[in-house]
């Protein structure tokens, strides 16, 4: 099984103002003269982690990473004005142009896979290859699967669901996302923080194949939890700012881009059918269904991701 590359630090970190509200945190790692690759984090709203730099051979890749609007070190934190899928697509182009990159590989998991597909379909001429993990297409059934009473995730992680649903009174549970949004958008900081913690514990504790169902979620920083919960609820309420089935409908725009898709068979956050639907619509892509959950840290997923980035480096670097 292939493992992550060793830990590295950025050789360059900078701020990029993209409009009158938002300023992005951007970092570059690896080889400044290497094959450019863009890493797109999940969420939306979760921000970067140090291990995100390690999916790429640092001797062969120029690795570009950024915190999306309102996330991580980008400012203002948890800001939802001018924060849509298409604002983020424009940000990616702004970073590419600022960095002087003509074409690059795009790598994204979970929400990052959604954003990767949206970007590639709008700017296919800029994409050398795609590496996609934990596929999320933003369709209504996918949105309901994990967060609503008629979804399926609650039947798999009942202990965690019990904490998530307990935060909302019974008479508001017919639309959990809207009920959480009302609290996440409250003027009362304590109300916002409590809702964010409940939301983030439900999601953050459900990512790996093997885990303790009573362990807290991964978003221990309350401000990070608010960023994730508010941003996700904002995007979910607006159906990810996509037209129905848009990402499947527009596959022809990217069909010839070399692409690897990897998905955990037991991914509870983004069910396997989503990846199967994408692979069925896109038989030219290399599709791997592996014994794993949602997390890129699950060994079977890490193995395929490293193999995919190595193969693209062999092809282009």
Determine what percent of the chain is predicted with pLDDT higher than 90: 90
Structure token pair of residue 156: 């798999």
The one catalytic residue in 67, 201, 267, 310 is 267
State residue 55 phi and psi, 5-degree precision.
-90, 5
The answer to whether the CB of 261 falls within 8 A of the CB of 278 is: yes
Q: Where are the beta strands (DSSP E) in 167-224?
A: none
| Number of Cβ within a 10 Å radius of residue 289 | 17
The answer to whether the CB of 198 falls within 8 A of the CB of 168 is: no
Active-site residue flag, 234: no
Active-site residue flag, 267: yes
pLDDT of 219 reads: 56
Statement: the pTM of the whole predicted model exceeds 0.85? yes
Q: Along the 317 residues of the chain, how does pLDDT read in single tens digits? A: 999 999 999 999 999 999 999 999 999 999 999 999 999 999 999 999 999 999 999 999 999 999 999 999 999 999 999 999 999 999 999 999 999 999 999 999 999 999 999 999 999 999 999 999 999 999 999 999 999 999 999 999 898 899 999 999 999 999 999 999 999 999 999 999 999 999 988 987 778 777 666 665 555 677 788 889 999 999 999 999 999 999 999 999 999 999 999 999 999 999 999 999 999 999 999 999 999 999 999 999 999 999 999 999 999 98
pLDDT tens, 127-171?
Answer: 999 999 999 999 999 999 999 999 999 999 898 899 999 999 999
Classified by CATH at the fold level, domain 12-137+241-316 comes out as Rossmann fold (3.40.50)
The one catalytic residue in 41, 74, 91, 110 is 110
Cα R_g (the chain), whole angstroms:
18
For residue 195, is it left (φ>0), alpha (ψ between -120 and 50) or beta?
A: alpha
Where do the domains of the chain lie?
Answer: 12-137+241-316, 141-240
Can you name the residues that pair with 25 across neighbouring β-strands?
A: 15, 67
The one catalytic residue in 52, 163, 234, 294 is 294
pLDDT of 275 reads: 98
Residue 208 exposed, middle or buried by CB count within 10 Å (0-12, 13-18, 19+): middle
Active-site residue flag, 174: no
The answer to whether the CB of 71 falls within 8 A of the CB of 45 is: yes
């Amino acid at each position: 099984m292939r493992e992550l590359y060793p830990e590295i630090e950025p050789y360059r970190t900078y701020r990029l103002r993209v409009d009158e509200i938002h300023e992005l945190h951007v970092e570059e790692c690896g080889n400044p003269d290497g094959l450019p690759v863009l890493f797109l984090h999940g969420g939306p709203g979760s921000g970067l982690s140090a291990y995100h730099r390690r999916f790429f051979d640092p001797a062969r890749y120029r690795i570009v990473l950024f915190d999306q609007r309102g996330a991580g070190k980008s400012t203002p934190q948890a800001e939802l004005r001018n924060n849509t899928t298409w604002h983020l697509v424009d940000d990616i182009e702004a970073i590419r142009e600022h960095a002087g990159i003509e074409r690059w590989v795009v790598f994204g998991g979970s929400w990052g896979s959604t954003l990767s597909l949206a970007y590639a379909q709008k700017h296919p001429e800029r994409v050398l290859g795609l590496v996609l993990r934990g596929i999320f297409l933003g369709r209504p059934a996918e949105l309901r699967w994990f967060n609503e009473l008629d979804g399926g995730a609650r039947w798999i992680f009942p202990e965690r669901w019990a904490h998530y649903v307990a935060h909302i009174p019974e008479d508001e549970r017919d639309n959990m996302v809207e009920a959480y949004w009302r609290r996440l958008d409250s003027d009362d900081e304590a109300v916002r923080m409590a809702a964010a913690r409940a939301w983030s514990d439900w999601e953050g504790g459900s990512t790996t194949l093997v885990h303790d169902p009573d362990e807290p979620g991964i978003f221990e920083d309350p401000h990070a939890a608010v960023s994730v919960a508010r941003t996700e609820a904002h995007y979910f309420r607006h159906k990810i700012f996509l037209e129905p089935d848009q990402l499947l409908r527009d596959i022809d725009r990217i069909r010839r881009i070399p692409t690897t898709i990897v998905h955990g068979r037991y991914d509870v956050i983004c069910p396997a059918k989503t990846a199967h639907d994408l692979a069925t619509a896109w038989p030219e892509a290399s599709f791997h269904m592996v014994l794993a959950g949602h997390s890129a840290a699950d060994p079977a997923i890490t193995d395929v991701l490293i193999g995919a980035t190595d193969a693209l480096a062999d092809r282009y670097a």
